[in-house]
Amino acid sequence: MADIPDPFREPRRTAGVLGLPADRETIPMILRHEDVRKAAKNWQTFSSDAPHRVPIPSEEHLRSVRQLPIETDPPEHSEYRELVEPFFLRAKQPAFIARVEAIVDRLLAEAVGRESIEAVGELALPLQSRALTVLLDVPETEAERFIGWGVHVFHGEHGVRQAAELERYLNEQFELAAANPGADFYGLLTTATFRGRPLTRPEQLGFANLMFAGGRDTVIHSAACAIGYLAERPEALDFLRADPARIIHASEEFFRVFMPLTHIGRVCPVDTDVHGMTVKAGDRASLCWASANLDETVFDAADEVRLDRRPNPHVSFGFGVHLCLGAAHARTVMRALLARLCARVERIELVSKVDRMEHTTAYDRPLGYESLVVRLHAGS
C-alpha cells in the first residue's frame, strides 16, 4: 500500500515536465530522476548565477544578499565552497556526533517524562537549533534565539520580519568576530580570503544566510516526519531496534520520502527547450527533487517507505556541483535521533496531528505537519 502521495506521477510518466505559474513566469518543473540529475550537472544551460532567484518563489523581499555558494556557478562556486567545506565536514567526526547524541538524549529524557509533546515545535525545532550550535561551534545558549524564531525562518505570516531579524543577528555576530575572531563559523568567514582578498560583509552574510535559511527548516521537517512515521507504524521502531545497523538505510529513506524542498530554480541564459516547453533567456526552469525521488523507473515501489531500501540514489541533498554542504550534518542529526529513540523509547504513540500542505496551481503536496502531538513511552 502506498505511503507517500505522488502528485507528479502522471506528468512525470507522460511529459516529464510540469508547468508552474510563479513570479510572473511559467516555470517548467523537470520531473524525471535522470533528467533532474542531468540538468543539475549542466550549469551552463541551467545556471545558479541568479541572486535571490534560486528559491521558488524568489526571495528578493526576504534578504538583501546573494546566498553563497548556492547562487553561483563554477569556477566561482567551487572556490567559495572550498572556503567552508572542511568546516561542514566536521559533522562526520566522532566528537561532533557524540555532542549531537547528547543533545538528543537530553531532549528525550525530558519528553518521556511528559504526558505528551508537540514533536515539531518541542522536539524537532530545539533538536536542530541546538545541533546548529554544534555546527556553528558557538555556545549552546545561542539555540534559544534560534528556537524563538519558530519552525520556519522565512515563511509564514512573520517571514519578512524574521528575515530582517536574522540579518541583524548575523551582522552582530560578524561585528563581534571582526573584533575578536575565533574558531567558530563567524570567525572562519571573518578571516577567510577569496581570490587574495578578505570576504566582503555581503559575502559573509551570504554564507550565513544560507546556513539558517537552507539548513534549519529542512532538518526540522525531516526529523518531525520521521517521528510521525514511527508513531503511526510502531513496528518500524521495533524493526530498527532489532538491528541498529539498519538506521543508516532508514535515515536515507526518510530523507528520500520526506523531501522538505519540492524543487529549486535554475536560470536559462539563452532560450532553451525544456522537454517541449520554451524557457526564454533569463527565465527559469526548476529541478523537482520531490518528483525525482519518487520516480518509479529508479525506485522499486517508489511510493512506499522501505527502511532497508538499497541502493537509494535519492537527490534530497541535490546533485552535481551543488551537493548540499550540510548533508553530513543532516545525516548526523537524523541518525542520532533514530539511534537514541531506539535506545530510550519503547513506543511512540500518536495523539493528534495536523498535516501541512503545499498548495499551488499545478500540484498539492504534503509537507509534513503543522502540529504533531505524540506520547513517548520509555523503554525498560
What tens digit of pLDDT does each residue of 6-59 get? 999 999 999 999 999 988 899 999 999 999 999 999 999 999 999 999 999 899
Q: What is the pLDDT of residue 215?
A: 83
The verdict on residue 82 lying in a domain is no
pLDDT at 1 over 60: no
The verdict on residue 179 lying in a domain is no
Read off the C-alpha cell for 62.
526576504
- The string over 261-279, giving b where at least 16 C-beta atoms fall within 10 Å of a residue's C-beta and e elsewhere, is bbbbbbbbeeebebeebeb
Task: Provide the H-helix boundaries in 15-158.
Answer: 33-41, 76-88, 94-111, 119, 125-136, 143-148
Contacts of 367 (CB under 8 A, 6+ apart): 221, 260, 262, 356, 357, 358
Q: What is the pLDDT of residue 290?
A: 98
Per-residue pLDDT, averaged over 242-261, amounts to 96
The verdict on residue 147 lying in a domain is no
Amino acid present at 160: V
The verdict on residue 204 lying in a domain is no
Q: What is the pLDDT of residue 61?
A: 87
* Reported confidence tier of residue 156, pLDDT bands at 50, 70, 90: low
pLDDT at 162 over 90: no
Per-residue pLDDT, averaged over 317-345, amounts to 96
Contacts of 276 (CB under 8 A, 6+ apart): 15, 17
Number of domains in the chain: 1
Q: What is the CATH number of the domain that holds 271?
A: 1.10.630.10
Q: What is the pLDDT of residues 179-213, one digit of tens each?
A: 999 999 999 999 999 999 999 999 999 999 999 98
Q: What is the pLDDT of residue 2?
A: 63
**The pTM is what?**
0.96
The verdict on residue 189 lying in a domain is no
Read off the C-alpha cell for 226.
520521521
Q: Are 5 and 258 in contact (CB under 8 A)?
A: no
Residue-averaged pLDDT of the chain? 95
- The string over 192-225, giving b where at least 16 C-beta atoms fall within 10 Å of a residue's C-beta and e elsewhere, is beeeeeebebebbbbbbbbbbbbbbbbbbbbbbb
pLDDT at 361 over 90: yes
Per-residue pLDDT, averaged over 146-156, amounts to 82
The verdict on residue 373 lying in a domain is yes
pLDDT at 256 over 50: yes
Read off the C-alpha cell for 111.
519528553
The verdict on residue 52 lying in a domain is yes
Q: What is the pLDDT of residues 343-355, one digit of tens each?
A: 999 999 999 999 9
Q: What is the pLDDT of residues 227-245, one digit of tens each?
A: 999 999 999 999 999 999 9
At 221, which helix (H) or strand (E)? helix 217-232
Question: Residue 258's domain spans which residues?
Answer: 9-61+89-141+216-378
Residue with the bigger pLDDT between 136 and 161: it is 136
Q: Which of 315, 377, 332 is nearest to 351 (CA)?
A: 377
The verdict on residue 124 lying in a domain is yes
pLDDT at 165 over 50: yes
Per-residue pLDDT, averaged over 120-129, amounts to 97
Q: Is the dihedral of CA 355, 152, 344, 303 positive or negative?
A: positive
Contacts of 190 (CB under 8 A, 6+ apart): 174, 177, 178, 181, 199, 204
